[in-house]
Amino acid sequence: MKRILIDTDIGVDDALAVLFALKSPELLVEAITTVSGNVHVEQCTRNLRITLGCMNLEELPLISQGEEAPLTMPLVTSAHVHGSDGLGGISGDLAPDGTRLYPELECPLSPISAVDTITDLVNRYPDELILVPVGPLTNIAKAMLNSPAVMRRVREIVLMGGVFEIYGNVTTQAEFNIYADPQAAQVVFNFGVPITMMPLDVTHQVVLTRERLDAEANRRNTRLIQFLRDSTQACMVYHQEREGVKGLYMHDPLAIGYLLQPDYFDVVDAYVQVETLGDLTQGRTVGNLRAQRASRAPNARVCVEVDAERFLRFFFDCVVS
């Protein structure tokens, strides 16, 4: 059993990651913290409650709201990809009786900030808690800056972010989570706890198509399945129209997949730094993935290949069960 904390700017693929983790008996999700990214953090917290409302959970993780803005830069969002509400526009959908189709789960929000929640939990579970950030790294970096001694006891960070040998998805050079707060990312990469990263190079290998989702969804007709269909619809259309991709990249669920099935992935060690200054290259993750030419001791394990079909099979067996 792995004890984890998910830190999320919950948009469409983040919601899939949250469902995947909460449905996995091998993971103990202690807390889910929110951070501004895909949309503003207050909307992220609403999205988390909507996502949790689609599940019949007996026990809820701790929920804590995080940072509103990056460490030093103005907030950038990706509402054009995830919809203005971050969930493909479904948060306002109505049922035939006029009630909200996807209401927020009424559950308590922690009175303490995400940053304090992170340090509290690391304190409670030293050398055990795994952090899984799938949004900008603002909360994690702040926890490291505020409480370095505590944060040295993080067991591992498994994050979605970065890009190495293909184009980025915000600029040609940068992936969104790192681009949105490069200063925070640099703090995290320089901190010295073990990091495994899921860059675009690997997440672009796994596309969830409408046909696949429909085929899997036909196995069950639950509220959760309906949520999967509805929340992904607009994002799939965006990818088709703007990038010619027939579906949705499974960015954030892959971080959860790595925790559960590391054998599905090929990983290389690298020394990774973040470009924080470049006018044209802000947010670029820089690292030499060809081990024989490495000049510095590695600070990260970078996932470079995944068995996409095995991953999707495993994801659906877990989520549609």
Please report, for residues 121, 270, 311, 317, the alpha-carbon distance to residue 131 in angstroms, rounded to integers and kept in the order given. 10, 20, 21, 24
Query: Whose Cβ is closer to ligand BDR: residue 53's or residue 86's?
Result: 86
Stretch near ligand BDR under the rule CB under 6 A, chosen from 11-19, 20-28, 61-69, 151-159: 11-19
Please report, for residues 2, 105, 211, 256, the alpha-carbon distance to residue 63 in angstroms, rounded to integers and kept in the order given. 18, 12, 34, 18
| Interface positions, 245-304, toward Ca ion (CB under 5 A) | 252
66 binds, among Ca ion, ligand BDR, none (CB under 5 to 8 A by kind): none
169 binds, among Ca ion, ligand BDR, none (CB under 5 to 8 A by kind): ligand BDR
Minimum distance, C-beta of residue 56 to ligand BDR, in the bound complex (Å):
25
Provide, for the chain, the percentages of residues in helix, strand and coil under a 3-state DSSP scheme, each rounded to the nearest 5: 40, 15, 40
Residue 239 appears among annotated catalytic residues: no
Binding string to Ca ion for residues 155 to 194, with x set by CB under 5 A, is what? ----------------------------------------
How far apart (Å, rounded) are the C-alpha atoms in residues 286 and 300? 12
Minimum distance, C-beta of residue 235 to ligand BDR, in the bound complex (Å):
9
Under 8 Å CB-to-CB from 81, ≥6 apart: which residues? 11, 12, 38, 235, 238
CB atoms within 10 A of CB 68: 12
Stretch near ligand BDR under the rule CB under 6 A, chosen from 7-15, 98-106, 111-119, 235-243: 7-15
Cα-flanking dihedrals φ and ψ of residue 315, to 5°? Answer: -60, -50
* Catalytic annotation, residues: 251
Residues that bind ligand BDR (CB under 6 A): 11, 13-14, 38, 78, 81, 134-135, 160, 169, 175-177, 251-252
